[in-house]
Each structure stands twice: as structure tokens, then as C-alpha cells.
Amino acid sequence: MTPGRRIEGDWYAGSVPENVVLDATAYVETSFSFTLFRSRLPAGVRYGRGASTYLGTLFDVGPQGRVTLGECALVHGARIICDAEISIGDYALISWNVVLMDTYRVPFDAAQRRRELERVPAREPRVACADVPARPVRVGRNVWIGFEACVLPGVTLGEGAIVGARSVVASDVPPFTVVAGNPARVIRPLTDRERNRHAG
């Protein structure tokens, strides 16, 4: 990274915000990922050792939002909609067009939603950011999330869980469990054999 937090060779003429804390070994493909980043916390995003985010990743993070990426976490292209906290554990793998959201960003009540929509055009940038309750999302260590899956507010994915492509996860997933479907259901636990196999 060059001074001014520009990324060398970045196709997008932006920079990485000051309150994005990068480990020296982390990788950010493009500053485009921060075009909707509005966190005012001292560490709105924290990249761990060897963590990386690629092209399609977008941090749609509100003023009080906090995102953490663990060691060697690899986010290929997630839309991270965060007003409270989204934590991504060590070695987690997140595929393209995944949605991780800790908030619906709008009131559930239609009349209140209309009032929020009337405020949107006056904002710069124009975003919906109603003050509605957010529930943290926790993606455990070594979790693998397939492409275009959605993880809804309040969900915890246990260590080593696997989420099938295009699943919609609305409730917690136990550790070392495969889930898939919309809404996601448990397919099977990982076998002892799988859990005890060692790399190399």
C-alpha cells in the first residue's frame, strides 16, 4: 500500500479509510470495497494476519458498525451489511455474491419504512440507514460459505460449518455441520473421519 492509503494498481480511484485496520500481511484488492463504508469506530474493519478481500466485496457498514476478519480469512465477494458487528473467524472462506447482514436496515412497519424512504433522497450518498435494531452475525473459525448464500441477522455459524451455495441461513448452525437449502437445513454433520483428517 502506498502513502495516502491508496492501493497500488487499484482500478478504482479511491483509498482505504483510516479506520480500516490492516495487518501488514493483509491483502485488499480494491478500495471500491469501501465506497459504502461509513463506520466512525476507531477500527470499523480489522483485517487479521493474511486476511484478504477481493473485487466483489463491499463493506456496507454504518457509523457504529464493526467488522473483523480473522487470520487468513478469505472473502472473495461478500456484501457485508453491518450496523453492529459481523465477525469472520480465522481461515473462513466466503465465496462470491454472499450476503452477510446484521440488520434489515429498514423498519418492519410499512408506515415507518415510508418515512425512512422519504429521507433517503436528501442523504449523500443516498442510502437507507434507519436506526433499527441490529443483531450481530458470527462466522466461526474455518467456516466455508458457498456462492450467493445469505446469512440473516443474529445468526452464528459454528466452527468448521459448511454452507451450501445459494442457501439462506436464518438460524444458528452447529459446529462441523453441513447445511444447505433455502431456508437452510442440516444436511449432515461432518464425519469423525473428516474432522480428524490432517492436511499434508
Which of 9, 108, 192, 199 is the binder for another protein (CB under 8 A)? Answer: 108
- Interface characters, 24-63, with another protein (x: CB under 8 A): ----------------------------------------
* Cα separations in angstroms, 125 against 37, 115, 139: 11, 18, 29
The CA distances from residue 12 to 32, 72, 79, 138, 167, in Å, are 6, 24, 18, 30, 31
How does strand 185-189 pair with strand 177-180? antiparallel
Q: Which stretch binds another protein (CB under 8 A): 18-26, 86-94, 118-126, 133-141?
A: 118-126
Q: Is the Cα dihedral 196, 144, 61, 151 positive or negative? A: negative
Q: Which stretch binds another protein (CB under 8 A): 42-50, 119-127, 134-142, 156-164?
A: 119-127
Cβ proximity to another protein: between 34 and 104 the closer is: 104
* Dist. CA 92–CA 83, nearest whole Å: 21
According to the binding rule CB under 8 A, does residue 186 interact with another protein?
Answer: no
Residue type, 83: D
CA atoms within 13 A on the CB side of 7: 21
Binding of residue 22 to another protein (CB under 8 A)? no
Query: For residue 127, how many other CB atoms are within 10 A of its CB?
Result: 12
Interface pick for another protein out of 79, 84, 135, 190 (rule CB under 8 A): 79
Q: Is 165 in the site for another protein (CB under 8 A)?
A: no
Cell of 185: 437445513
Residues at the interface with another protein (CB under 8 A): 79, 81, 97, 99, 101, 104, 106, 108-110, 113-114, 117-118, 120-121, 126, 128, 148-150, 152, 166-168, 170, 181-183
